[in-house]
């Protein structure tokens, strides 16, 4: 287990094939993937295959990370940075089990990821994408300091892009 970050309540570490069952359960909740453009994995095996083939850490030195509670050592979702080759941009993303929504975990882990991106990875700019009706994610992006940049289209749906640049970022 390669630990990346630690916050007051959370540990963020690299995802691995041992997370397959949690990963599968996370994506089978239609409320969790409602605004993602993703579909649920067909099986735990398919989730395991996805995780085994996840190459972001090797290719870019960072990616999406498992979010584990310190108190119960429990996988509650993922958060992290993703380099998009087409846009040549890094975006911040997060996905959590519905039962832990509104507890501040997305904000806490996303803030830590932003700091990591600017301080350790020396990124100049990080974006966040969300479908327009996904007010929960938009609120998190705003709480961690991202500002609206533009409307966009995401798989045929209205979406927004938020951004933050290193010179506008202070340790939040």
pTM over 0.85: yes
State pLDDT tens for residues 70-95.
Answer: 999 999 999 999 999 888 999 999 99
Tell me if 125 sits within 8 A of 89, measured CB to CB.
Answer: yes
Q: What per-residue confidence (pLDDT) applies to 69?
A: 98
Give bridge partners of residue 158 from the DSSP assignment: 153
Mean of the per-residue pLDDT values of the chain? 94
Helix (H, G, I), strand (E, B) or coil at 169: coil
Q: Are the beta carbons of 25 and 18 closer than 8 angstroms?
A: no
Q: Which parts of the chain sit beneath pLDDT 50?
A: 172
CATH class of 3-168: alpha beta
- What's residue 169's pLDDT? 61
Q: What CA–CA distance (Å, rounded) separates 36 from 95?
A: 9
Every domain of the chain and the residues it spans: 3-168
């Amino acid at each position: 287990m390669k630990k990346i970050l630690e916050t007051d309540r959370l540990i963020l570490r690299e995802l691995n094939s041992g997370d397959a069952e949690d990963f599968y359960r996370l994506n089978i909740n239609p409320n969790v993937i409602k605004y993602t453009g993703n579909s649920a994995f067909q099986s735990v095996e398919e989730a395991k295959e996805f995780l085994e083939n996840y190459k972001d850490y090797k290719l870019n030195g960072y990616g999406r990370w498992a979010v584990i509670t310190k108190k119960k050592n429990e996988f509650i979702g993922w958060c992290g940075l993703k380099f998009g080759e087409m846009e040549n941009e890094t975006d911040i993303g997060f996905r959590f089990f519905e039962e832990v929504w509104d507890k501040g975990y997305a904000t806490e882990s996303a803030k830590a990821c932003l700091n990591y991106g600017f301080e350790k990875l020396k990124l100049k700019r990080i974006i966040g994408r969300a479908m327009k009706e996904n007010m929960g994610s938009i609120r998190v992006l705003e709480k961690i300091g991202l500002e609206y940049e533009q409307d966009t289209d995401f798989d045929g749906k209205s979406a927004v892009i938020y951004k933050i640049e290193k010179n506008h970022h202070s340790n939040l």
